[in-house]
Structure 1
Amino acid sequence: MPPLEPSRERYPNPIARYAAATRPAFLSVTLVACLVGIASAHAGGAALNLLHALLMILVALLVHAAGNVINDYFDHANGADAANTGRLFPFTGGSRFIQNGVIPASHMGLFALGLLVLAFPFGLWLAASQPGVLLIGLGGVLLAWAYSAPPFKLVSRGLGEAVIVACWLLVVIAADHVQRGEFAWTPVAAGLSYALLVANVLFINQFPDHEGDAAAGKRTLVVSLGPESAKWGYFVIALVAHGWLVVQIERNALPQVSGLALLTLIMSLTAARELRDHASKPTELARAIKLTIGAALLHGLLLAATMAFNWRA
């Protein structure tokens, strides 16, 4: 049985209601990105600053949560979520908190701003000791807003995947910089393959959503190319992600043992095969979406573990 969509009866407690509206399960990709960055700095010889690490994770999770809520707010405003009858909840079609009358749209907008305001003082505290974090953080917040919000609406212009890659690569770089105190290549070497696999999560989610997106005028890649043509993009992203990792290992930018993360190619290719077969049948894509999420998370965890425990620069 598919999970039940949210209702007022399921969330009588307002704290639980608003927490659930952030789509907390998806915040795991940001937690893993932080772990990759922290492990990257550790691999470079930086001593772990636990307070900085925890604050970095908190800020990143708050900004990601705000981005999710912003996306819900504007996909309600443009009609995309209301028109989405092919959604695979809880993976696609938004949180449904607005559409199901659980939280008013105006409250969701204020909630998103509140999450960003809450992240601000913690981000400033980190920037006081590591000024470079301020630039990264401002870039991340801008992208989180521009992803869905006018006038940019980057996801509606076919740039959603590029924004996702940039955002999650920035999280890895920021988490490394907070620990290391300077910029380095290692978080880019490790973070780009992970960020690309996170982008594939967005990409495959667009297949069940493409009719609703098209009705709302969102020109995502799947809408622009059509499901049967766009499906090959999943293969390309997965192969580029794992190919990047191979190149960085060959260049000694990452340890040989980080090659363990290449095991996730099996999951990505399995999902790609299912997408190839069912691109125009969104109800058949739940397993492929789960494999895509699992591949990204496992890839990041393997990178973090191999850098944290098996290598020193």
Structure 2
Amino acid sequence: MKETDIRQNSFRAWLLAARPKTLTGAAVPVMIGMALAYTDSQSYPEGTFSWTAAALCFLFAFIMQIDANFINDFFDCLKGADNAETRLGPLRACSQGWVSLDAMKRAIALTTCTACAVGLPLIYYGGLEMILVGAVCVLFCFLYTTHLSLIGLGDVLVIVFFGIVPVCVSYYVQLHTCNWQVFIASSACGFVIDSLLIVNNFRDRDNDRKSGKNTIVVRFGARASSYAYMYIGFTACLMGTVFWVNGHAAAFLLPLIYLAMHIFTYFKMIRIDHGKALNECLGETARNILVYGVAVSAGLLV
């Protein structure tokens, strides 16, 4: 079926709006947090690690990612930011008329409430502080699209909410504590996932500049941003020495596979430089992020 043949508010329309390929970014930090918690729980009394809590963390992350995609789709349509003629990334559901604005508003309300309902039982495992964590996640889910991404703070939010928060909270839910190793691992995860935003903004830099969206790429230029893309991969792997120091050499060595793939994608990105062809680099970056998450998690469990 062609995109022009999509019936409004159909299942396929909602699937495109949900953007399931982005769920990689939601899964990886929880995966790493849980691998860290499971590894450290071996020194705790038997039964410390809860698979139910792990499932709830994954489910909450997935629903919040879909919620963020819906919010982004809705508000970008209202602002007129998605023009089919100038847009270089995947087309958005509301702007294309695949999903009506009223239906999207209802979907945002439903996914937000569902995420809260899924996250509520985590109070049993992590304490009342989980309410604050959930509220902050929902708040910044809206603020990202409506305000903060427009002034160049998108990268900061990615590092915090796709690295530090999910990794540390996933660990905390299991063991009711956190430590410097977990914090460093969470920061490294945030850097890796931020590479997805960098290549996305690298592709859209001309349109963002015209629309007044001051991303990091717009502020510092394409060359500096491409260097940032490359070096955050090196930085994340270098931060992985914390695993080696703590007796998990495999969790440092296996992500070097990710680093090789990351460097390959970097050279492809600077070679393409402009246009829709950069979507290939976007797809490769999402794949690389998944490889990183699996490599770190496997290294810890091994």
Fold shared per TM-score above 0.5: yes
Letter in 2 for 1:196: F
**C-alpha separation in 2, matches of 1:127 and 1:6:** 42
**1:74 Cα shift?**
1.7
Look up the match of 2:144: 147
Q: Point out where structure 1 has 5 or more consecutive residues left out of the alignment.
A: 90-94
1:112 aligns with 2:108: yes
For residue 147 of structure 1, give the secondary structure of its aligned residue in structure 2.
helix
Paired residues of 1:84 and 1:212 also in contact (CA < 8 A) = no
Structure 1 residues 251 and 29: alpha-carbon distance in aligned structure 2, compared to 1, 3 A threshold: same
**C-alpha separation in 2, matches of 1:72 and 1:293:** 20
Kindly, what percent of the aligned residue pairs are identical? 23
Look up the match of 1:306: 299
Which shows bigger deviation, 163-172 or 254-263?
A: 254-263
Q: Specify which of 278, 293, 298 is matched with residue 272 of structure 2.
A: 278
The C-alpha deviation readout for 1:230-249, integer Å capped at 9, x for no partner, is: 32221232222222213x13
Paired residues of 2:28 and 2:289 also in contact (CA < 8 A) = no
Look up the match of 1:78: 79
Structure 1 residues 11 and 238: alpha-carbon distance in aligned structure 2, compared to 1, 3 A threshold: farther
1:257 aligns with 2:250: yes
Which shows bigger deviation, 97-106 or 155-164?
A: 97-106
Paired residues of 2:249 and 2:299 also in contact (CA < 8 A) = no
Paired residues of 1:133 and 1:177 also in contact (CA < 8 A) = no
Letter in 2 for 1:124: L
Paired residues of 2:158 and 2:190 also in contact (CA < 8 A) = yes
Look up the match of 1:209: 204
**1:12 Cα shift?**
6.8
Letter in 1 for 2:107: F
**1:27 Cα shift?**
0.9
**1:35 Cα shift?**
1.6
**C-alpha separation in 2, matches of 1:226 and 1:189:** 28
Look up the match of 1:195: 190
Look up the match of 2:57: 56
The C-alpha deviation readout for 1:79-123, integer Å capped at 9, x for no partner, is: 22227625143xxxxx51112111122322331222111111221
1:266 aligns with 2:263: no
Q: C-alpha root-mean-square deviation of aligned residues, in Å?
A: 2.3
**Alignment TM-score, normalising by the size of structure 1:** 0.85
Paired residues of 1:34 and 1:175 also in contact (CA < 8 A) = yes
Paired residues of 1:6 and 1:97 also in contact (CA < 8 A) = no
Paired residues of 1:80 and 1:212 also in contact (CA < 8 A) = no
Look up the match of 1:92: none
1:239 aligns with 2:234: yes
Look up the match of 2:225: 230
**C-alpha separation in 2, matches of 1:69 and 1:38:** 27
Paired residues of 1:203 and 1:234 also in contact (CA < 8 A) = yes
**1:63 Cα shift?**
1.1
Which shows bigger deviation, 190-199 or 46-55?
A: 46-55
Letter in 2 for 1:294: R
Q: Map 1:94-105; keep pairs closer than 5 Å.
A: 95-105=91-101
For residue 218 of structure 1, give the secondary structure of its aligned residue in structure 2.
coil
Letter in 2 for 1:138: A
1:166 aligns with 2:167: no
Paired residues of 2:155 and 2:194 also in contact (CA < 8 A) = yes
**C-alpha separation in 2, matches of 1:84 and 1:214:** 16
For residue 178 of structure 2, give the secondary structure of its aligned residue in structure 1.
coil
The C-alpha deviation readout for 1:205-246, integer Å capped at 9, x for no partner, is: 112222332232211112223324432221232222222213
1:128 aligns with 2:124: yes
For residue 82 of structure 2, give the secondary structure of its aligned residue in structure 1.
coil
Q: Point out where structure 2 has 5 or more consecutive residues left out of the alignment.
A: 43-47
State how many pairs are aligned: 294
Paired residues of 1:27 and 1:64 also in contact (CA < 8 A) = yes
For residue 285 of structure 2, give the secondary structure of its aligned residue in structure 1.
helix
User: In proportion to residue count, which structure has more helix?
Assistant: 2
Which shows bigger deviation, 296-305 or 129-138?
A: 129-138
